[in-house]
């Protein structure tokens, strides 16, 4: 029942992505608009959704569950990092740093959060947010090391999503509630997360020549590592853990998510192969319509 529900939500999300493709093709969304909407999504809408998801009554058992999910999230990234390190080797014409980044870092914000919210409401967002927080911790440390030799700057860890997580948890623990009218306004902005993120994803995918993309066997190996091997190992472990169904389902959905859109933005930022990053993002996104339900079945 849960798998069929999630599959339906995935179909809905891909319909929105197709609208994004159409908007790019007809010029409603161009490169400039795409950049600005991306900033709106990652710096405003997503953080507000995360913050507002913590506006609930305090529950000690929920804090314990969040701690368990934090450990699981760290473990999931370690699995991906190890697999990418040992199974991906330098090959001429392919950007190894981008490949490893794409295998390791999922689209937990653009796809994971909307799906978790669609399935379980605010509690689903709270669970998915733990994975998103760990994502930012790893992406701005280990992820930077994959893309440059200078190391990372600690100040890069200070970003809107992590700030929202910290503030949200503080409000949850100390039961600081937002005034009703302010809360309605912020919740309305947070509700924009799914359609905005998917429109952007569609606009990004619209720029690819899929006839050329599907000829790259190496690309499908990267997809296999991200969507099947890494996700499958983690979900098989989930199957045997004594955690409740909601935690298991959200963790499985996050594991089955495609490579993050951040792979593209980081490629641009660090002057890597952003076209190849877009191919990885697009192909894993298309295939994830199958792998997310599969991950849920494996996790049990």
Regions of the chain where pLDDT drops below 50:
none
What average pLDDT does the structure give for the chain? 87
> Residue 149: what pLDDT?
60
Q: Could you state, in order of their start, the residue ranges of all structural domains in the chain? A: 2-200+218-299
Residue 287 has phi, psi (to 5 degrees) of -75, -25
H or E element, residue 286: helix 274-299
Name the DSSP class of 156: G
Q: What's the CA gap between 199 and 153, in Å, rounded?
A: 31
Q: What is the CATH topology of the domain spanning 2-200+218-299?
A: Na+/H+ antiporter like fold (1.20.1530)
Q: How far apart are CA 275 and CA 212, in angstroms?
A: 12
Global pTM value: 0.83
Distance CA 223, CA 257 (A): 11
- pLDDT of 60 reads 87
In this structure, are residues 264 and 278 in contact, taking their beta carbons and an 8 Å threshold? yes
Beta-bridge mates of residue 106: 259
């Amino acid at each position: 029942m849960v798998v069929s529900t999630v599959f339906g939500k995935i179909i809905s999300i891909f319909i929105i992505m197709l609208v994004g493709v159409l908007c790019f093709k007809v010029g409603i969304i161009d490169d400039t608009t795409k950049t600005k909407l991306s900033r709106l999504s990652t710096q405003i809408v997503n953080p507000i959704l995360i913050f507002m998801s913590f506006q609930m009554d305090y529950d000690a058992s929920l804090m314990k569950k969040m701690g368990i999910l934090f450990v699981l999230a760290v473990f999931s990234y370690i699995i991906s990092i190890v697999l990418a390190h040992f199974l991906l080797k330098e090959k001429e014409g392919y950007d190894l740093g981008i490949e490893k980044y794409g295998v390791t870092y999922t689209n937990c914000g653009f796809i994971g959060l909307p799906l978790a919210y669609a399935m379980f409401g605010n509690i689903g967002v709270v669970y998915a947010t733990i994975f998103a927080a760990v994502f930012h911790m790893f992406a701005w440390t280990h992820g930077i090391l994959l893309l440059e030799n200078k190391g990372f700057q600690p100040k890069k860890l200070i970003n809107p999503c992590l700030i929202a997580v910290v503030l949200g948890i503080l409000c949850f623990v100390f039961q600081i509630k937002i005034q009703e009218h302010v809360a309605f306004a912020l919740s309305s902005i947070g509700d924009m997360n799914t359609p905005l993120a998917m429109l952007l994803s569609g606009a990004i995918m619209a720029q690819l020549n899929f006839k050329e993309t599907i000829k790259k066997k190496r690309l499908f190996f990267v997809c296999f590592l991200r969507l099947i091997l890494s996700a499958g190992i983690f979900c098989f472990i989930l199957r045997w853990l004594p955690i409740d169904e909601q935690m298991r389902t959200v963790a499985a959905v996050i594991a089955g998510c495609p490579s993050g859109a951040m792979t593209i933005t980081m490629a641009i930022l660090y002057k890597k192969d952003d076209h190849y990053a877009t191919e990885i993002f697009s192909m894993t996104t298309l295939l994830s319509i199958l792998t997310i339900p599969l991950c849920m079945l494996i996790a049990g």
